[in-house]
Chains A and B, each alone.
Chain A
Amino acid sequence: MSEGTRLALVVDDEPDMCWVLEQMLRRSGFTPRMALDGCQAIELLRSEHFQIVFIDIGLTDMGGDKLVRQVQEIDPGTRIIMMSGSMVKEEAHIRNVIQDGLICDFIPKPFLNREVMRAIERACSPFF
């Protein structure tokens, strides 16, 4: 990986959702990586530093909130943006990670692409 390359990771069990986020990350100058479940994600996180990680709350092998805590342990400097298709059900989990200051943004699905772009920008801001 060359100097100055900014890495981002998308963790979602939906390959097409990963594709969507990859497009937007590229537009923001990131090199996106993709993980379909929590285990894959942890493996990648242990080998490289990701500036931004998108995590879907409903993963097949573990809860997104659990992965958030693991990411913070492995690489505390990583900015995490959470996404969810059903806020109601996961409300408690999301509230906890927000309250604990573990994520920098939360985006409900479906979303406007520009909201995602803005979230990426915010996550990269040194003032955050």
Chain B
Amino acid sequence: MDNDKSEWFARILKSIGDAVIVTDTMGCAVFMNPAAESLLDCPLEGIRGKPFEEVFCDIDEEADYPPIEGLDIDPPDHVGYVTGNGRQIILERSISSIENDDGFEGQVILLHDISERKHAEDALRDWAERAVKRSEAKYRTLLEQIPAIAYIAPLDNLDSALYVSPQFEKYLGYSQAECASDPHIWRKTLHPDDCGHVLAEVARCHTTQEPFLCEYRSLARDGEVKWFHDEAVIVRDDDGHPLYYQGVMFDITDQKRAESSLRQSEALYRSLVEKTTDGYFISEFPSGCIIFFNERLCELSGYTHREAMHLEVWDLIALDEHRRVHEQVWSKAGHEGHICRESIFTAVRKDGSTFLAEVTVSSVPFQGRQAVQGIIRDVSERERLWRQLQYVDKMQGLGVLAAEIAHEVLNPLAICSSAVQFLMEEGNSPEFQKECVQKIHSGIGRVSGIIRSLLGFARSYPPATEMARLDLLSIVEETTALISFKAKSQRVKIQSRSCRSPVFVGGIESFLQQVFMNLLLNALNAMPDGGILSLLIEKTNREVLVHVTHNGSGISETEVGNIFDPFRIGLLPGDRASTALPLCYSIVKQHSGTIECKSTEGEGTTFTVRLPIAPGEE
């Protein structure tokens, strides 16, 4: 029976695919099945009698199978084996004891080749390790390249870092080695003024274990002040246990500087706006609701700040000026980048009194809304002085003409005088007497004409302030008549070409007379030895153009550029030219027109005045 059993077992052992080795009580192999021989590439004789330590090499690794309950089997282990042809294989080895009634009889060892599995596992582990290293390297590279200082600090000691990224040196001048040797280096760099609140925040975080968040200044090694935005969070393990603080210090010095300079410029702007001697407002566009009103404008208008906030810009403008201001200023003010400079209108105070205001407006974004800002200046006094100057200039102009006008008056007077003396003689024929009377009559007519044009020119002082509807043609003609005497005395020929019908413009007569008198006198001055003065009046749909051309000495390009500048170089004090042309410019501008000068040196000059045609006349 035993033999049968043994044979039966032996057959089973030979036929199964697993490698089986049986040892005696001494642990020496006494049996190997064919699968074991094949696996170890060695017959039983090769290992018979050898202790296992010599056959297998220990690779110090246990297979992680859970123990099987109720079986006296040690957990399998892994061992190395070098086959007859030198191949290294890894085996999973399970050992179980054979016991019979006499006690321990030997061991059955099951071997299983797990080399391929192990290789695959090792390869996978290698790959995973490399991947971890790669990602670590990437993370580190990233960490060390961001424009910030990264750090790791223990939970209970935020101000002594375990790790500080190399940027610490870049921003604060201390190397990683210095940081490593002095764990309190961060605390030492803190700006004395910020140290208190930063350390208080550190203490709070230690107690509460909440994230750390602080903005502060640090002093770099060279003494430079740096601003940091510092944020640290607690890193926890998988079970949620806090491990350490991980933080980043962002350099915000530039941002802080920009903020500070913005604050400074804001403060400057605000003080400028508040302290300026001009009124300043911001209003919504297009509604015109006031949203800012400076102190000076309160003084000028008589409204308080609070009252001003309920106003519209239109409340500050005289009613009859609304249409003009709307057309000339407001309708254009909303266009981005557009600036309406120095428009003059009548402004109304809270008490209803008025003053002459000069306003410059432009569009400006204000708190996300489209708005219009304006500078208002009280120019009443300036305008009064300007009008005085204008009058003085006009009288000066008449003074220049005085000699010629006197000459023009003396000629007909001389004729009258002689004719009267003829009449006083006796014996004249009735025909001759009649001829004398006719000469006297025509002489008196001429003298009165001259005096009338003089009066027309000198009347209206103080000059009107309101614009009136005027025939520009007759203004130009009358003025030309007045200077014609001087033109004659200088042997300047006047050629005039103009439209036949009257051309109406809105304006102040006295001012417009002065513009043309100054331009005509300027032309005569350029032709002391005679020449041709031509006048051309053209009418277009919207404006009238008056060209005053002379062929006297022209002026250079640079002089043309500043010919309307009252302070231009090369003029002597009291020189009429220092006021005459600048006055023309101001007057024309006040009439919403333009004046320009084109000149070729040595050939002549043309001044062109453009004035808008009065409403309804286009």
Bound Cα distance from A111 to B419, whole angstroms: 11
B604 neighbours in A (Cβ, 8 Å): none
Q: Which residues of B from 389 to 434 have beta carbons under 8 Å from A?
A: 403-404, 406-408, 410-419, 421-422
Q: Which residues of A from 26 to 72 have beta carbons under 8 Å from B?
A: 58-62
Given A19-B439, A86-B403: A110 touches B419 (CB 8 Å cut-off): no
Residue B134 at the chain A interface, CB threshold 8 Å:
no
Taking a contact as CB atoms under 8 Å apart, the answer to whether B414 and A20 are in contact is: yes
Chain A to chain B contacts (Cβ below 8 Å), 20 pairs: A13-B488, A14-B411, A16-B415, A19-B415, A19-B435, A20-B418, A20-B439, A59-B491, A85-B410, A85-B414, A86-B406, A86-B407, A88-B403, A89-B489, A109-B410, A109-B411, A110-B416, A110-B417, A111-B414, A111-B418
Residue B442 at the chain A interface, CB threshold 8 Å:
yes
B439 neighbours in A (Cβ, 8 Å): 16, 19-20
The prevalent SS among residues of B at the interface is helix
Q: Which residue of A lies closest to B420 (CB)?
A: A113
Taking a contact as CB atoms under 8 Å apart, the answer to whether A20 and B419 are in contact is: yes
Taking a contact as CB atoms under 8 Å apart, the answer to whether A60 and B421 are in contact is: no
Taking a contact as CB atoms under 8 Å apart, the answer to whether B410 and A86 are in contact is: yes
- Total number of B residues with any Cβ neighbor in A under 8 Å: 24
Given A20-B419, A111-B417: A58 touches B410 (CB 8 Å cut-off): no
Residue A96 at the chain B interface, CB threshold 8 Å:
no
Residue A17 at the chain B interface, CB threshold 8 Å:
yes
Residue A1 at the chain B interface, CB threshold 8 Å:
no
Taking a contact as CB atoms under 8 Å apart, the answer to whether A61 and B411 are in contact is: no
Taking a contact as CB atoms under 8 Å apart, the answer to whether B422 and A17 are in contact is: no
Separation in Å of the A12 CB from the closest CB of chain B?
A: 9
Residue B443 at the chain A interface, CB threshold 8 Å:
yes
A13 neighbours in B (Cβ, 8 Å): 488
B415 neighbours in A (Cβ, 8 Å): 14, 16-17, 19-20
Taking a contact as CB atoms under 8 Å apart, the answer to whether A61 and B491 are in contact is: yes
Q: Which 7 A-B residue pairings sit nearest by Cβ, starting from the closest?
A: A110-B414, A109-B414, A85-B410, A110-B417, A86-B407, A85-B407, A20-B418
Separation in Å of the A116 CB from the closest CB of chain B?
A: 8
Q: Which residue of B lies closest to A63 (CB)?
A: B491
Binding site for B on A (CB under 8 A): 13-14, 16-17, 19-20, 23-24, 58-62, 85-86, 88-89, 109-114
Separation in Å of the A54 CB from the closest CB of chain B?
A: 13
Taking a contact as CB atoms under 8 Å apart, the answer to whether A113 and B410 are in contact is: no
Bound Cα distance from A68 to B442, whole angstroms: 30
Bound Cα distance from A14 to B408, whole angstroms: 10
Taking a contact as CB atoms under 8 Å apart, the answer to whether B411 and A113 are in contact is: no
Taking a contact as CB atoms under 8 Å apart, the answer to whether B407 and A110 are in contact is: no
Q: Which residue of B lies closest to A23 (CB)?
A: B422
B491 neighbours in A (Cβ, 8 Å): 59-62
Taking a contact as CB atoms under 8 Å apart, the answer to whether B414 and A113 are in contact is: no
* Among A17, A24, A62, residue most surrounded by chain B Cβ atoms (within 10 Å): A17
Bound Cα distance from A91 to B407, whole angstroms: 13
Separation in Å of the B338 CB from the closest CB of chain A?
A: 53
Bound Cα distance from A112 to B424, whole angstroms: 12
B404 neighbours in A (Cβ, 8 Å): 86
A114 neighbours in B (Cβ, 8 Å): 421
Partner of B443, one of A16, A86, A89: A16
Q: Which residue of A lies closest to B488 (CB)?
A: A60
Q: Which residue of B lies closest to A110 (CB)?
A: B414
Taking a contact as CB atoms under 8 Å apart, the answer to whether A16 and B403 are in contact is: no
Q: Which residue of B lies closest to A38 (CB)?
A: B491
Bound Cα distance from A13 to B404, whole angstroms: 15
A86 neighbours in B (Cβ, 8 Å): 403-404, 406-407, 410
A20 neighbours in B (Cβ, 8 Å): 414-415, 418-419, 439
